[in-house]
Structure 1
Amino acid sequence: MSHPTAGPLRHALATRARAVVETRWFTGAVLFAILGNAVVLGLETYSGLSERWREWLLLGEGLFLAAFTVEIVLRAAAFADRPARFFRDPWNVFDLVVVVLAHLPLMRENATLLRLLRLARVLRAARLLPQLRIILVAIAKSVPGTFSFLMVGALLLYLYAMLGWMLYAEHDPDRYGSLGRALLTLFLLTTLDGLGPVVHEGLEYSRWSVLYYGTFVLLASFVLVNMLIGVVINSLDEARAVEAGEAREPGEPRTAGGGFGEEELRAKIAEARRVLDELEAGLRR
């Protein structure tokens, strides 16, 4: 059976920790540490600087790791009264895994894995930068649409590669001597790089080359690319809607941009927490 004072102690700890992690200076300090970690990681790629300032760079790495450890402890402490909620946020889980793995002896002995973990810390900047967070959410939401786009693109490349092999295999074996070479040639042509010489060489074999390359460029470089842009833009709009909190109960006020204002949102969160605290206090009596 837990101690009767455990509940109030956890509540007090969570309240004090939240008062720290929700301040602007704490967010700024964490962002500064993430950027500093990125700078140190970049300096280590220069052999001269890495050898000359090795001790200072190691000291900086230790200080950054200590700072990130304190940060994740404070964030976890902010959920001391409701621990399960800490793990509902994917960013909390990501931060915890990155920090914990950095303390494991196996990771610290492997330079490559340790650098990958330190590189992963740079991604944590997305948590503190709303616009970057929106872009990452948009990328995640665009995966299903992008997969469909890749399937259509692969089918288009295959059809034109087979057609190119049948038309140009004998005359241009370097580009169309096999299905693999034809696929590589057409994939490079989707960027329109070197299209002119290829078309001129194709005209030496057949006047139909204009139709072949013209339709391929139209479909691959314009139609498909515009489809991909549409998928990304749609996902970006969905990510902005999630970030702005547009999916809310009917009748709740909206700002001109479609979401709660920052100050209004903070006030509502504080009010909700106050009500929860009063409810928990009443249940303990």
Structure 2
Amino acid sequence: MITHSPLARACAALSDSRAFEVVIIVVIGANAVVLGIETYQHLGAWEPVLRGLEWFFRIVFVAEIAIRILAHGRRPQDFFRHGWNVFDFVVIAAVFVPGLHGDSALLRIVRIARVLRLVRFSPGLRTIVSALLRSLPGIGGFLALAVVTMYLYAMAGWLIFADDFPEQYGTVGHAMVTLFVLLSQENLPDLVAQGIGLSPWTLLYYVSYVLVMVNLLLNILIAVIVNSMEEARRLEITEGLADADGDGIPDEIDRIAVSQRLDDLRTLMAELERDLRIDRERDRA
């Protein structure tokens, strides 16, 4: 069992307190407001004030990271076992890199990235971000299928409309741009009317494209994201439950096992509810 020093226990109590979290959220929000004010020109006497506030934000964020690292006592490396902690550390430490100074675009990007730290304080936002990251492999497969499908329709559109509508279908590139804009369906009536003027059979081209690309493939994309969000939500729920090695940090294998057990329990409850409903119907009969 690891024993922590009084300083580590005090830092842990402070970092886990609600007041500490609220203060950091307020500072991040104020930092976002200052970044917005700096986009205006001719600030005049406000420029020294804004520079002073920037240094104040840096000091507060560095102190926050230091407190959270010290809270781990003799195992400060445990702080970097969580992805959000690594993100916080990199964003805060990046502003002190010697190459980032003055009013460079890279420094502005780093300062803007500090606003993203608000995600860490919201379980709902963390779940959404985790779901998006988990859905990347599925989204990659979807994008490959969507590009191939759109390319085939672009070639067909080039063969059908290239001579009559060169601006929209003169090349495969123009056709793909036209079909990409068509995903919003805003220009669908104009394109359909334009195609029917050429031949009524062109209606099949646009109807099939809308059914395949807009309805079928986009619904598949939504299903991939929803499934990833459900997995991320399960891991978020089980994060504080699975701790097989007793170090206070849930292991991925333990979290998956607990999630599977919860699924089994839900299945068992559903079967029990169905059996009870059947018994009730028999009693009534």
Relative to the length of structure 2, the TM-score reads 0.81
Selected match of 2:214 from 201, 221, 224: 221
Q: CA deviation at 1:110?
A: 4.7
Corresponding residue for residue 28 of structure 2: 34
Runs of 4+ aligned residues of structure 1 deviating over 3 Å after TM superposition are 246-250
Q: How many percent identity over aligned positions?
A: 39
Cα-to-partner distance string for 1:102-137 (whole Å, 9 max, x where unaligned): 122321235212211111111111111111111111
Q: In the alignment, residue 172 of structure 1 is paired with which amino acid?
A: F
Corresponding residue for residue 11 of structure 2: 17
User: Does the CA-based 8 Å contact 2:235-2:256 persist in structure 1?
Assistant: no
Q: Distance between the aligned counterparts of 1:248 and 1:133, measured in 2?
A: 18
Alignment of 1:169-188 (within 5 A): 169-188=162-181
Q: Distance between the aligned counterparts of 1:109 and 1:194, measured in 2?
A: 46
Q: In the alignment, residue 74 of structure 1 is paired with which amino acid?
A: I
Alignment of 1:56-135 (within 5 A): 56-135=49-128
Q: Distance between the aligned counterparts of 1:185 and 1:51, measured in 2?
A: 47
SS in 2 for 1:171: coil
Q: CA deviation at 1:47?
A: 1.4
Tell me: CA distance 1:188–1:248, structure 2 relative to 1, closer, same or farther (3 Å).
closer
Corresponding residue for residue 269 of structure 1: none
Tell me: CA distance 1:249–1:142, structure 2 relative to 1, closer, same or farther (3 Å).
closer
Q: Distance between the aligned counterparts of 2:39 and 2:150, measured in 1?
A: 39
Q: Distance between the aligned counterparts of 2:225 and 2:86, measured in 1?
A: 27
Q: Distance between the aligned counterparts of 1:108 and 1:233, measured in 2?
A: 42
Cα-to-partner distance string for 1:61-95 (whole Å, 9 max, x where unaligned): 11111100100010110113212211211122211
Selected match of 2:186 from 178, 189, 193: 193
- Extract unaligned runs of 5+ from structure 2: 240-254, 267-285
- Extract unaligned runs of 5+ from structure 1: 1-6, 259-285
Relative to the length of structure 1, the TM-score reads 0.81
What is the total number of aligned residue pairs between the two structures?
245
